[in-house]
């Protein structure tokens, strides 16, 4: 909704609400001052650590999906009428390839959703992208033990599968109506070149390779091979970049590249303002790991002790609002366990935290609408809570 879509009464309500917030907030209080600083420190960290290396490459991948990927192929394998076992299996394990956070996965999710993927498979991908990547599972295994590591991997895949199926079932009619809209199917331009499947695979692999290896993180001694790749990650990323340049020169026309740039720009305009706003709010409320903001971290540590259903629920709901950069959930949960957090709530946080955050919820809401987003968030919280509670009971 743009500013022009707002009625005069809604604009007046926004102005009044803004005035009341500014009027009553005690900005000179140390905790408020610290929370404001944390908000901008977190935004600065996000800009330095994630925008250029994570979000920007993901937006180019999303733009390429919209402009170049064959729409019928997307609908064949990920559409609502696709074989459910194939569609949800592919979507549910995709995170093992993309080592991305809850924000980086958003442009790619929007790309396949706009291209004709069914709501269910698209949501399965949305959850699995940040929840399941190889290093996160390895580090979970190393730091928390094999039980928690295996549980995180298996349950994440299961949750992705179930959430997708349930979302598709609930919103089946709306999704069929969306895919029946002729505006979804854009006619290719006159000089659009039809490329072979191997060419498209090489094109997508080159971009995914850049995204994955630019963001390759060290394993801190868990795997010598993994750390060896980390030492050469820029060389590997550069090799993929050279491959991408060669592909673009040989197989793509200038007008197609122009369409790609425009599609990427549109994703940036849609996503970045919401992401930055969400990061500011998350930083103001919760702060960066190890730093205090408006909500004292001691409250969270106190509420997630033991293995009660409430402790698991609170861990899951807290995780959905916190922002976890890729792999940062490991040391955060490790610190919380040391402060008295139960192992069940730890699993709930590991399942809910990486896949959702306040910034990502704002972007998902803009794409899917409030109702679908609310159902998605509730499903993530529900399954994470139940999984954590059952894990604690079994132990």
Looking at every residue in the chain, the average pLDDT score rounds to 83
How far apart are alpha carbons 387 and 316 in whole angstroms?
10
Report pLDDT digits (tens) over 198-212.
Answer: 888 899 899 989 988
CB atoms within 10 A of CB 284: 21
By the 8 A CB rule, do 131 and 355 touch? yes
* Residue 305, strand partner residues: 341
How large is the average pLDDT for residues 59-77? Answer: 79
Strand, coil or helix: 145: coil
Q: Could you tell me what percentage of the chain is helix, strand and coil, using 3-state DSSP and rounding each to the nearest 5?
A: 75, 0, 25
Torsion sign over Cα 387, 390, 392, 395: negative
What's the pLDDT score for residue 184?
53
Closest to 329 (Cα-Cα) out of 348, 349, 357: 349
More confident residue, 16 or 218: 16
Q: Is 144's pLDDT higher than 90?
A: no
Query: What CA–CA distance (Å, rounded) separates 8 from 16?
Result: 12
Helix, strand, or coil (residue 341): strand
Q: Which residue has the higher pLDDT, 181 or 203?
A: 203
Q: Identify the band that residue 359 occupies on the pLDDT scale cut at 50, 70 and 90.
A: confident
Residue among 341, 329, 346 at smallest CA distance from 301: 341
The residue count for the chain: 395
Give residue 2's pLDDT band: very low, low, confident or very high (50, 70, 90): very low
* pLDDT the model gives residue 182: 46
* Overall average pLDDT of the 205-233 stretch: 83
Inform me whether the pLDDT recorded for 79 exceeds 60. Answer: yes
Residue 96: its pLDDT value, please? 64
Provide the sign of the torsion angle of the four alpha carbons 213, 218, 224, 228, taken in this order: positive
> Given a cut of 50, is residue 318 above it in pLDDT?
yes
Of 55-59, 97-101, 138-142, 263-267, least confident by mean pLDDT is 97-101
Q: Which of 100, 42, 108 is nearest to 271 (CA)?
A: 108
344 Cα distance to chain centroid: 23
* Separation of alpha carbons 209 and 311, rounded Å: 39
Residue 43 has pLDDT above 80, yes or no: yes
Q: Is the pLDDT confidence value at 369 over 60?
A: yes
Give me the torsion for CA of 18, 20, 24, 28, rounded to 10°: 20
Cβ–Cβ contacts within 10 Å for residue 23, how many?
7
Q: Select the more confidently predicted residue: 192 or 309.
A: 309
User: Are 70 and 188 contacting, i.e. CB atoms less than 8 angstroms apart?
Assistant: no
Which of the two residues, 320 and 2, has the higher pLDDT score?
Answer: 320
Residue 188 has pLDDT above 70, yes or no: no
Quick one: pLDDT at residue 339? 66
Question: Computed from CA positions of residues 247, 252, 254, 258, in that sequence, does the dihedral angle turn out positive or negative?
Answer: negative
């Amino acid at each position: 909704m743009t500013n022009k879509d707002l009625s005069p009464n809604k604009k007046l309500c926004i102005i009044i609400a803004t005035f009341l917030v500014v009027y009553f907030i005690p900005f000179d209080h140390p905790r408020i001052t610290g929370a404001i600083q944390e908000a901008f420190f977190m935004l600065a960290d996000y800009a330095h650590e994630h925008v250029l290396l994570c979000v920007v490459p993901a937006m180019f991948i999303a733009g390429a999906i919209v402009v170049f990927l064959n729409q019928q192929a997307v609908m064949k394998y990920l559409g609502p009428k696709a074989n459910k076992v194939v569609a949800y299996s592919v979507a549910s394990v995709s995170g093992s390839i993309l080592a991305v956070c809850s924000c980086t996965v958003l442009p790619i999710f929007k790309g396949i959703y706009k291209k004709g993927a069914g709501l269910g498979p698209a949501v399965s991908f949305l959850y699995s992208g940040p929840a399941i990547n190889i290093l996160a599972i390895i580090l979970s295994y190393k730091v928390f033990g094999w039980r928690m590591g295996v549980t995180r991997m298996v349950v994440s895949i299961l949750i992705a599968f179930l959430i997708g199926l349930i979302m598709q079932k609930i919103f089946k009619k709306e999704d069929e109506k969306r895919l029946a809209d002729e505006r979804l199917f854009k006619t290719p331009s006159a000089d659009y070149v039809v490329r072979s499947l191997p060419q498209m695979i090489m094109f997508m692999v080159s971009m995914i390779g850049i995204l994955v290896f630019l963001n390759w993180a060290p394993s801190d001694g868990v795997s010598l091979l993994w750390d060896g790749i980390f030492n050469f990650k820029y060389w590997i990323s550069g090799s993929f970049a050279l491959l991408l340049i060669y592909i673009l020169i040989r197989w793509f026309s200038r007008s197609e590249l122009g369409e790609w740039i425009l599609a990427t720009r549109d994703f940036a305009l849609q996503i970045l303002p919401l992401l930055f706003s969400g990061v500011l709010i998350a930083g103001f409320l919760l702060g960066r790991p190890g730093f205090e903001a408006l909500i004292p971290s001691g409250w969270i540590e106190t509420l997630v002790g033991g293995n009660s259903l409430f402790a698991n629920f609170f861990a899951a709901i807290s995780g959905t609002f916190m922002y976890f950069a890729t792999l940062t959930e490991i040391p955060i949960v490790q610190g919380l366990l040391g402060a008295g957090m139960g192992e069940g709530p730890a699993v709930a946080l590991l399942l809910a935290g990486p896949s959702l955050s306040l910034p990502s919820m704002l972007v998902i809401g803009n794409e899917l609408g409030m109702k679908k987003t609310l159902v998605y968030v509730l499903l993530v919280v529900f399954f994470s809570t139940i999984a954590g509670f059952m894990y604690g009971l079994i132990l």
